[in-house]
Amino acid sequence: MKLQTTVPLIKFENPIDYQSKLLLLGSCFVENIGDKLKYYNFQQLQNPFGILFHPFAIENLVERAIENRNYQESEVFEQDGRWHCFDAHSANSATSKTILLQNLNESLEETKQQLEQTTHIIITLGTAWVYRDNKTKKVVANCHKVSQKEFSKELLSIEVIKNSLARLIELVHSINESAQVIFTISPVRHLKDGFMENQQSKSHLITALHGVLSSRAQSRGIYFPSYEIMMDELRDYRFYGKDMVHPNELAIDYIWEKFKSSWISSQSYTVMEEVDTIQKGLQHRAFNPDSEEHQKFKKSLQAKITYLKERYPFMKFD
């Protein structure tokens, strides 16, 4: 008896391995995947501008990075003792204008460097709803709790999203023709926009994205169905967090395993198991830290770390 529908997946060509260099951009769900990749010590850069929810914000970051357009004083502002930029998440805000501008421009440079050498770019789209600054008429990435009176809310049309995503792919390949772009739609429901509005938003993203991917060679962009896995395979509130909006740890682990089966090279699985053993060992808390047994455990763990770092010098273990 079959009690679950499953989304068909394939093992993609050009999979991710420990020689791959990854760039992850987009909504909070891309950070769920990014945290898994970080845990297993893959080479990756994750959201240098913080969480970016909509296509325009991601396109803007990539475009400014490639074009070396540094941020100027006129593009940042102070509110409640902190300095912000409408193009970046509040996690990137700073206590001074100088620090913020320095951080933003260093992140642009870091993004460009990663774009030039990346093998895989994972982009997660969260919403088609955006806020436009009434003064500048520019769509912002984050409102930073500025009064909603200062913005106009709008739903990006399918055609506008298609143009933005097509431009994004072209920008990436203008600086790195061989980079594999992996798109996914975030399974996080943006219910603050409303139930029907969230469905409308996701449908615009999905339709636009598939429209772009179907009009290009398959190698230029590929879709991973994280949204569909959450909606069709995990159709139960026990897979959501307490807010009933975000996937919980169990759901994230489930989708990660699906991503791993599709995108991670099977030749990397043994190394992943070695890394996992070390990570669990580092998290271990001994009842008696001074015991001979624990000292032997620490020595053995350090030997495993040394052996692994000899093969993969970029790995870091905290």
194-200: long-range pairs with CB below 8 Å, 24+: 197/129, 197/155, 198/127, 200/128, 200/155
pTM: 0.94
> What pLDDT score does 216 carry?
58
Q: Which superfamily does CATH assign the domain made up of 21-264 to?
A: SGNH hydrolase (3.40.50.1110)
pLDDT at 218 over 60: no
Instruction: Name the least confident of 43-47, 76-80, 283-287.
Output: 283-287
Q: What is the pLDDT of residues 78-111, one digit of tens each?
A: 998 999 999 999 999 999 999 999 999 999 999 9
Mean pLDDT to the nearest integer, 153-181: 96
Domain ranges of the chain: 21-264, 267-318
